[in-house]
Structure 1
Amino acid sequence: MTPAERGSGGVQSVDRTFELLELMADAGGEVALSQLAAGSGLPLPTIHRLMRTLLAGGYVRQQPSRRYALGPRLIRLGETASRALGSWARPYLAELTEATGETSNMAVLDGDQVVYVAQAPSRHSMRMFTEVGRRVDAHCTAVGKAVLAQLPEEAVGQVLARATMRPQTDRSITTVAAMRAELDTIRARGYAVDDGEQEVGVRCLAVAVPGAHANAAISISGPEARMGLISVDEVVPLLHRVAQSLAHELDPG
């Protein structure tokens, strides 16, 4: 997000600092100075000054190669933000689980993976269970594909360039071309599906949380046999409604 997109009335140096951190995150956490200059359009002296401040605070570190990497002090901030995000999301996920009877999840994109940050478990004894904090590859999950489908093309290209496309089951997508075609399908129909691509016998429907800076998605998951009885025409509008409400909670402005 550029400083202009953040709106007026802010402090320019703060806007620029966060822009550099976001560029680093989009690039996988490590960049060369030339990448920061190209991505931000800022003068090199300005970038040097901001990076020195981040280095001194431990928010950025410099590798022996002279490339810059995200620093360890960001871990505590991320963990605290993740817990807060989960607490905000749980009531909305509980609404989904109450309406569908299946497990609801929220996950955020982190590099080429997604991290589950909140869950409302199904009441069924046989149910989908994913630990909060678990990381999985984005290309074989409905939440991951839903987030990717709403990213700008440049950001999608960066994620897919880093992704290994490892198959988790024999249904997993394993090529960039196939993933791009899948993302086109998701954009056209408005939701993502994981049909046994991450775990055999598990089906998942997901939609992105619109406009949320966290790059998040929510989903319902369950055994294929039970999920096959759920009406997509009824559940997808519910997912979108809950996602919209959650987006307002996360970004009330």
Structure 2
Amino acid sequence: MSQEKEGSGKQVIARTAAILTALEKFPFGASLGELSQACDLPKTTVHRMVSSLEAQQLVITDGNGVRLGPALVRLAASAHKDVIGIARPYIEALGRSTRETVDLCIYRGTHSVLVDQYASDQELRVVSAIGTAFPIHCTAHGKALLAQLSDDVFTMLSTGFSLEKRTEQTLVNIDALRADLVVGAKSGCFIDREEHARGVCGIGLTLRTGFVDQYALALAVPALRFQDHFEELKNALIQCKSQIEAVIGA
């Protein structure tokens, strides 16, 4: 391969990556103009590349614009299995050291979905079925995922659905929820103090995996034990996050 062809190939790959990366920020679709601006590429170039990507189902175009396509979802599903496999030994170690339930969740619209769990061995414990979808606004892992969304996506989500009041502690005011997310972002951990279910608390944070899907790791703890062991639980969770991310290379 000549240097000229090699350089051209690298440019195409770089532009393709730029478009796909930009679309992560537009889960509901982006116009060609928005993509052109986000990628700093001419609109004609974006249009040509989107057409090629659409032919491979890497993107799809509908009434809302261009968004990531089913081929990427399939690739992400494969990577998703890898994340579970990589994280599992560290999740088990965290569960054994804290004796509390550890949840690994993935972001899905207005919910965080449980994809793996290590159940506490204590008589009083918090356990959920794999595949359970939790409201994103009132769980520790959900808040961690919600805080990663751009302001535009957060606004679209918050105006598109009402915040369900699960308990007396649930934050159903958007401004109060935003403020709570700011506090969580500064501390590095997001807290659920009986906001999703009475008697249940949680502490969560996001995992940087480098994959399209967004993951959160959390400890689910009965309220009776939560506050007394909060600092040690937080430190153990942060350590587990660091270990998983180091192995993944995020």
Taking structure 2 as the reference length, the TM-score comes to 0.83
SS of alignment partner, residue 95 of structure 2: helix
Could you list the per-position Cα deviations for residues 164-212 of structure 1 after superposition, in whole angstroms to 9, with x for gaps in the alignment? 2522413222232112210221133332111222233211111233575
Output the aligned Cα RMSD.
Answer: 2.5
Q: Select the structure of larger CA radius of gyration.
A: 2
Query: In the TM superposition, what is the alpha-carbon distance from 1:245 to its structure 2 partner?
Result: 0.8
CA distance in 2, matches of 1:174, 1:99: 34
Structure 1, unmatched stretches of 5+, are: 1-9
Structure 1 distance, partners of 2:230, 2:236, is 10
Report if aligned partners of 1:148, 1:156 keep a CA contact under 8 Å in 2.
no
Q: After the TM superposition, which residues 63-212 of structure 1 pair with which residues of structure 2 at under 5 Å, given as runs? A: 63=62, 65=63, 67-149=65-147, 151=148, 155-163=150-158, 164-170=161-167, 171-209=169-207
For 2:199 and 2:209, the matched residues in 1 are separated by: 32
- For 1:198 and 1:11, locate their aligned partners in 2 and report how far apart those are by CA, in whole Å: 48
Q: Is the 8 A contact 1:96 1:220 kept in 2?
A: no
Is residue 2:57 matched to residue 1:58?
Answer: yes
Measured after TM superposition, the shift of residue 21 of structure 1 is 2.3
Structure 1 stretches of 4+ moved >4 Å: 210-214
Alignment partners' CA distance in 2, 1:78 and 1:131: 22
State how far apart, in whole Å, the 2-side matches of 1:29 and 1:17 are: 19
Letter in structure 2 aligned against 1:33: L
| Structure 1 residues 168 and 95: CA distance shift in structure 2, 3 A | farther
Decide whether aligned partners of structure 1 residues 132 and 25 sit closer, same or farther in structure 2, where only a CA change above 3 A counts: farther
- 2:30 maps to 1:35: no
Q: Distance in 2 between matches of 1:188 and 1:62?
A: 37
> Does the 8 Å CA contact 1:23/1:36 hold for their aligned counterparts?
yes
Distance 1:145 1:66 in 2: 27
Query: Equivalents in 2 of 1:70, 1:173: separation in Å?
Result: 31
Secondary structure of the residue aligned to 2:134 is strand
User: Residues 68 and 140 of structure 1: is their aligned pair in 2 closer, same or farther, counting only changes over 3 Å?
Assistant: same
Q: CA deviation at 1:111?
A: 4.0
1:129 and 1:26 map into 2 onto residues whose CA distance is 33
Structure 1 112/33 Cα, relative in aligned 2: closer, same or farther at 3 Å? farther
Name the counterpart of 2:6. Answer: none
Equivalence for 1:224: 223
- Partners of 1:210 and 1:70 in 2: how far apart? 20
Residue by residue over 1:55-100, the C-alpha shift from the partner in whole angstroms, topping out at 9 and shown as x without a partner, is 110122222x372233222232122111111111111111111011
| Post-superposition offset of 1:228 | 4.1
SS in structure 1 at match of 2:201: strand
TM-score by length of 1: 0.82
The 8 Å contact of residues 28 and 64 in structure 2, kept in 1 or not, is answered as no
* Contact residue 136 and residue 143 of structure 2 kept, 8 A: yes
SS in 2 for 1:62: strand
Aligned to 2:127, the other structure's residue is in SS state coil
Q: How far, CA to CA, are the matches of 1:112 and 1:204 in structure 2?
A: 18
